[in-house]
Amino acid sequence: MQINKHFLELKDSYLFSTIAKKAAAHVEAHPDAKVLRLGIGDVTRPLVPVVVDAMTAAVAEMGQAATFRGYGPEQGYPFLREALQKYYEGKGVKLAADEIFMGDGAKSDIGNILDLFDKNNNVIIPDPVYPAYLDANIMAGRNVYFVDGNEENGFLPMPESLVQQGINPDLIYICSPNNPTGSVYTRSQLKVWVDYATYCGAIILFDAAYECFITDPDLPTSIFEIPGARRCAIEIASLSKVAGFTGVRCGYTIVPHELEFDGGNINKMWNRRQTTKFNGVSYIVQRGAEAVFTKEGMAQCMESVGAYLANAKIIAQTMKELNIWHVGGDNAPYIWLKCPNNMTSWDFFDFLLAKAHVVGTPGAGFGAKGEGYFRLSAFNSKENVEEAMHRIKGIL
Ligand code: PLP
């Protein structure tokens, strides 16, 4: 018996456990201090009423013989795929219902989609970014190359460095709005990536988990708003942030029919993969998800998104007042800032916790290029965000 030795190459992910441990130790040492947590990427507001009602009604249906449902379609119920079709129509994107595959969240599909691709593929990953891309590819033993975010490119890396190094990409991860930086690619920047992927014969894996935070109408919320993307891109999205589904679990992956590579149709392959390894999202959750995409549901959800964005504005404004270099916060729930006085990201974490009782996330946890930077999250109440900013102003 041999194990998959690539698992031994993974670095232990200490980021959030170390943050939790340090925060807990701080609370114990300062029992009277109110510790404010701006470190988490999890939502804090509850499910909206329309969703709760829809899921409650679905539970009742499941309790009656006449309306009980067992296994559903692996790809998702038609009512939900059609609701998503309409949602994308609103973005000016036409999708066939069988290009939309419901899943239990973006994280699963980010890893699962790799089943379709050869182990020898070259994978391009932005640095810094959501760590699951890297770990999922290390597990499969793929070659990973990074495209670096930095202050010069506003943490929106472009393909030039890959061209200069002569790297031949097969899979390209793009996360926009980005976690952790909150940066969002423009239409013309995404067009460059689409043209580059097309030229190289590569597939873009576009993570749109935070698309709902884009309020600027000039910024694209889907890769499929970019001409040519249907021939080179897969989009992975989620209800976690738009509807507070982090604990409910529902996402979707869009695989256009046009994706033909190496003798295989990617849509058909993903369908085959899902029907073999996945038995669908629960009916109750799908009814809740359907409610999100009604007019009333979307209005209620966007009220929560708007509250997070208002918090993000407060954080960004504070950074501006303190003359701290930062990006994000306009069309994203994250503000990415340069640690003052050239502190490392963990030094700044300790400083903020000790002096202001505020918890953030050290940038080093999102990749080598995150060192020296820090993520503050808008997922909290307005009162807590205001209080945290007041305290930060007091120490910087
Ligand atoms: N993609 C990004 C960029 C994320 O930040 C997250 C979660 O924070 C996910 C995907 C995972 O989302 P889900 O809850 O749908 O699995």
Per-domain residue ranges for the chain?
A: 5-47+296-395, 51-294
What is the pLDDT, as a whole number, of residue 68?
98
Give the pLDDT confidence of 298-322 residue by residue, as tens digits: 999 999 999 999 999 999 999 999 9
Please report the pLDDT score of residue 99 as a whole number: 98
Q: Where are the alpha helices (DSSP H) in 201-251?
A: none
d(CA 320, CA 198): 39
Residue 177 in 3-state DSSP? coil
> What is the secondary structure of 117-154 as a DSSP string?
S-TT-EEEEEES--THHHHHHHHTT-EEEEEE--TTTT
d(CA 167, ligand 1 centre) in Å: 28
How far apart CA 208 and CA 345 sit, in angstroms, is: 26
Using the mean position of ligand 1's atoms as its centre, give its distance from the Cα of residue 317 in Å. 26
| Single-letter amino acid, residue 164 | Q
Q: Would you give the end-to-end CA distance of the chain in angstroms?
A: 57
- Going from the C-alpha of 5 to that of each of 89, 93, 140, 151, 243, the distances in angstroms are 45, 42, 9, 37, 38
Q: Which residues of the chain have pLDDT under 50?
A: none
Q: Long-range contacts for 313-319 (Cβ within 8 Å, ≥24 apart)? A: 314/382, 314/385, 314/386, 314/389, 315/38, 315/376, 315/378, 315/385, 315/389, 318/389, 318/392, 318/393
Is the Cβ atom of 130 under 6 angstroms away from ligand 1? yes
pLDDT the model gives residue 82: 98
Cα–ligand 1 centroid distance for 164 (angstroms): 31
**Tell me: the pLDDT tens digits for 218-227?**
999 999 999 9
130 CA closest ligand 1 atom index: 3
Ligand 1 atom closest to Cα of 106? 15
CA of 104 to the centre of ligand 1 (A): 11
Cα–ligand 1 centroid distance for 238 (angstroms)? 7
In the prediction, which pLDDT does 58 show? 98
Pairwise CA distance, residues 290 & 77, whole Å: 10
- 261: Cα within 13 Å, side-chain hemisphere: 25
Answer whether 211 contacts ligand 1 (Cβ < 6 A): no
The fold of the 5-47+296-395 domain, in CATH, is Aspartate Aminotransferase, domain 1 (3.90.1150)
Residue 12 has a pLDDT of 82
pLDDT value, residue 40: 83
Do residues 208 and 233 make contact, with C-beta atoms less than 8 angstroms apart?
no
| Chain position carrying tokens 């050869």 | 118
pLDDT value of position 41: 87
pTM of the model: 0.97
| Beta carbon of 238 within 6 Å of any ligand 1 atom | yes
Q: 82 C-alpha vs ligand 1 centroid, how far in Å? A: 23
Closest ligand 1 atom to residue 110 Cα is 10
Structure tokens at 252: 């979707």
Q: How many residues does the chain have?
A: 396
For position 14, what pLDDT does the model report? 76
Q: Name which CATH class applies to 51-294.
A: alpha beta
Task: Compute the C-alpha angle 106/327/215, nearest 5°.
Answer: 60
Q: How far apart are CA 25 and CA 23, in angstroms?
A: 5
